[in-house]
Structure 1
Amino acid sequence: MTNFPHLAQRLFNTPVAIHPHKAEVVMAALADRLGISHMFRGGELLALSPMAMEDDEIGGVFSRPGRSERDPGFDLVEGMAVIPVTGTLVQKLGTLRPYSGMTGYDGIRTALLAALEDPGVKAIALDIDSPGGEVAGCFDLVDMIYRMRGEKPLHAILDESAYSAAYAIASACDRITVPRTGGTGSVGVIGMHVDMSAALGKGGITVTMIRYGEHKAEGNEFEPLTEGAHARMQADIDTMGELFIETVARNRNLKASVVRGTKAETFLGAAGVTIGFADAVRAPDAAMGELYRSL
């Protein structure tokens, strides 16, 4: 069963590194699936409360229906470990492979370590098609991938795009290939605050926050966002954004000013190569063939 409430909790009122258009699509889809589509009018979010929903857990830890418990999390193809990185990226999914439209950083990490230790694996390919996802856990994984360089050939083969957090992961690899119609970039961080106070007021519902500590429950969805709370949330977003820029600059051997100058823009195909966000324009099968021949 798709875990929509769980996804809602991970996307709202928390910093995320995801393509803005994908964020809008997810917001609308969640509203429809959770039976609150009436809260959207003309594409605008009127109210959404992830805190008021029950959280159904996904199946067993590091398992996936139909797969062996010994599944390493990758497919071994002619000595190449192919690790799928697709859909929305989250910190902890509890599965080795993509599940319900999401991929967990925990699963990617485990699959990478398994591939690194497997003597039958001569090279590693991250098969990426993702708009990005959670900031939490992303940069720790990126640093781990960066430290893996030199152990075995490690390529990011985009099929079709790697945006935001997904691009952060791709940037840590030795080489990035992108299809003609694929994309790279969106090096930035966003936060989506949900304010339900007006909608609740119209429904005759008043929520009173009783707190100890001035900043307790700051930025909750039952009260309008104060200037102070907004400023503090913006400061956090700025800090994470700078970390993103510095990480990509290090990984791709670019000046931080060049990465910052993209202003979270996305780049189609060859434009990503020109800016330095990819190494070559290749169809996924051609890129896989090149990696195989290099062995």
Structure 2
Amino acid sequence: MVMAALADRFGITKLFRANGDVLAMSEFGIDEDDDEPDYRYYDVVQGVAVIPISGTLVQKSGYMRPTCGMTGYDGIRANLSMALDDSSVKAIMLDIDSGGGEVAGCFDLVDAIYSARGKKPIWAVLSEAAYSAAYAIASAADRITVPRTGGTGSVGVICAHVDFSKALAKDGIAVTMIHYGARKADGSEFMPLSDQALARFQADVDELGELFVATVARNRKLSVAKVRGTQASTYLGAAGVAIGFADEVMSPDEAFRSLLAELGD
């Protein structure tokens, strides 16, 4: 049964509140604990801590929940830590719908989730898609479910350099870079990217890409060659299961019921 805390997300029903008190619940007849501790920033639904992960992923948002279209790795890590120590939590559900985000902080969080395996069941329930950094996070869970229209993958790294030098010159604007260190201005948008700078940045991207590939291979028990061979492709629904990037095609509410069944509730 799907608790009202998930209702808006899954489009099933509405939970009406006044002054923080529950006035009406859904037709599913789920009971909710009205005495939620103030320190919790995640919902606990029949013993399952639901940690929302949506929008653009950033290293530090300063918030414990998604806000302004972003989720911070700092908030996810804090919620994970609290849920692992929370005696009322029997399992953790990562509610993911994100196209990815920053590299910084991502893999440390992924390793923390992976290290928590075995302490409590951790499921990544995609409430649509988990791409790139979001998929890195999902891959660390014990189990991944994806809806038929949802997606997984994009195991790759991308960055861009924009050169405004010609546009500025056309407008009669000259920019003089004053710097210490021959490579200090590499990547500046006010000058063309040199071959040497491009090679250096490409090497960094390659190193991060190999880290991503190795991490997913470890988490999903796949060969490095197989993950690398996807070439950062994305996979819709069942195709993600076939490639090994997800375990089952399920709608989010069905996946939640399945997790409760595994817990014996």
Separation of aligned partners in 1, 2:52 and 2:188: 35
> Structure 2 length normalisation: TM-score?
0.84
Q: What's the CA shift for 1:70?
A: 3.9
- 1:41 alignment counterpart: none
Separation of aligned partners in 2, 1:253 and 1:283: 24
- 1:204 alignment counterpart: 172
Separation of aligned partners in 2, 1:144 and 1:122: 18
Q: What's the CA shift for 1:212?
A: 1.3
- 1:139 alignment counterpart: 107
- 1:108 alignment counterpart: 76
- 1:283 alignment counterpart: 251
1:61-210 map, 5 Å: 70-210=38-178
Separation of aligned partners in 2, 1:120 and 1:166: 27
Q: Is the 8 A contact 1:163 1:184 kept in 2?
A: yes
Q: Is the 8 A contact 1:73 1:110 kept in 2?
A: no
Q: What's the CA shift for 1:71?
A: 4.3
Q: What's the CA shift for 1:119?
A: 0.1
- 2:183 alignment counterpart: 215
Separation of aligned partners in 1, 2:256 and 2:164: 48
RMSD between superposed Cα atoms in Å: 1.3
Separation of aligned partners in 1, 2:105 and 2:224: 22
Separation of aligned partners in 1, 2:131 and 2:150: 10
Q: 1:151 corresponds to which letter in structure 2?
A: K
- 2:214 alignment counterpart: 246
Greater length-normalized contact order (CA 8 Å, ≥ 6 residues apart)? 1
Q: 2:193 corresponds to which letter in structure 1?
A: L
Separation of aligned partners in 1, 2:166 and 2:60: 33
Separation of aligned partners in 2, 1:198 and 1:246: 40
* Count of paired positions: 228
For the pair shown, the structure with the greater C-alpha radius of gyration is: 2
Q: Secondary structure at the match of 1:84?
A: strand
Q: What's the CA shift for 1:69?
A: 11
> Structure 1 length normalisation: TM-score?
0.76
Q: 1:83 corresponds to which letter in structure 2?
A: I
Over residues 58-107 of structure 1, what are the superposed CA-to-partner deviations in whole Å (9 max), with x where a residue is unaligned?
Answer: xxxxxxxxxx9944221111110000000000000000000110100000
Q: 2:205 corresponds to which letter in structure 1?
A: I
Separation of aligned partners in 2, 1:98 and 1:201: 42
Q: Secondary structure at the match of 2:191?
A: coil
- 1:259 alignment counterpart: 227
5+ long unaligned stretches in structure 1: 1-67
1:18-57 map, 5 Å: none
5+ long unaligned stretches in structure 2: 1-35
Q: 1:85 corresponds to which letter in structure 2?
A: I
Separation of aligned partners in 2, 1:234 and 1:81: 40
- The equivalent position to 1:233 in structure 2, one of 193, 201, 204, is 201
Q: Is the 8 A contact 1:73 1:107 kept in 2?
A: no
